[in-house]
Amino acid sequence: MTSPSKVMTTRMNIAIDGPAGAGKSTVARHVARELGYVYIDTGAMYRAVSLHMIRTGIQPDQVEEAVAEMQRLHLELLPGSERQTVLLNKEDVTETIRTPEISQFASLFAQLEPIRIKLVHMQRQMAEQKGIVMDGRDIGTHVLPDAEFKWFLTASVEERARRRYVEYMDKENVTLEQLMHDIEQRDRQDETREISPLRLADDAILLDTSSMSIDEVVNVIVQRAILRKDGEQ
């Protein structure tokens, strides 16, 4: 492959949105590495907040308590070439937040406006320097509406559940049917919430990854990024 960081002189921000299991995180991480950019997984931020709320016994319908608890919570993302480390009050929770339970709670706590305002503020600060690949649900539509390059990755519910099944197989006692049900429920919650719902930005490129490998998706995005910066499209 061409050496993209040599080709691309002007740094840009790349937004990658889409539903659960569409491959966003893996793709975004690889794209960032290829381009010499920093990868930011915003879903991990909602997950870490949810872990904190669960630990403190706060439910998603306890809005006042959740907002108060947000003041006590210290969240840090440490970008790395292999993965992003998530620190919650100085504790490394990078792996702890990857469970089906946290996935569901994250989708519910993500409906609360004060939580979103705080996390979006952090996300915009991290993107100020440019050279960011950020994945989430509202990056192209709300967090970084001026991102130079926007992608919306999707895949069939069956394929997305299968991918999650492979991811969880070794550590969680969960069935494919259960994961399909969870994903459909999360799609509904993320797409129908009042604040910054998951939707395709007008200027985003839609890519169905159902029958594509991670490498194929990464290649498409990296090559298009290089072309765009070279002014060839």
Q: Which is nearer to ligand DC, 186 or 229 (CB)?
A: 186
Q: Is 186 in the site for ligand DC (CB under 6 A)?
A: yes
Query: For residue 172, what are the contacts with CB-CB under 8 A and spacing of at least 6?
Result: 99, 100
What is the footprint of ligand DC within residues 35-64 (CB under 6 A)?
42-43, 46-47
Of residues 226, 201, 210, the one with CA closest to residue 10: 226
Does residue number 190 form part of the binding site for ligand DC (CB under 6 A)?
Answer: yes
20 binds ligand DC, rule: CB under 6 A: yes
Cα–Cα distance, 221 to 166 (Å, whole number)? 24
Q: Does 30 bind ligand DC (CB under 6 A)?
A: no
Buried b (16+ CB within 10 A) or exposed e, 129-159: eebbbbbbbbbbbbbbeebebbbbbbbebeb
Q: Candidates 29-37, 83-91, 131-139, 164-172 — which segment interacts with ligand DC by CB under 6 A?
A: 131-139
Structure tokens at 96: 């702890």
The SS3 call for residue 14 is: strand
- Does residue 147 contact residue 13 with C-beta atoms inside 8 Å? yes
Stretch that binds ligand DC, among 63-71, 134-142, 175-183, 201-209 (CB under 6 A): 134-142
Q: Residue 8 or residue 53: which is nearer to ligand DC going by CB?
A: 53
Determine which residue in the list 13, 107, 141, 209 makes contact with ligand DC, applying CB under 6 A.
107
Is residue 187 part of the contact set for ligand DC (CB under 6 A)? no
Residues at the interface with ligand DC (CB under 6 A): 20, 42-43, 46-47, 103, 106-107, 110, 136-138, 186, 190
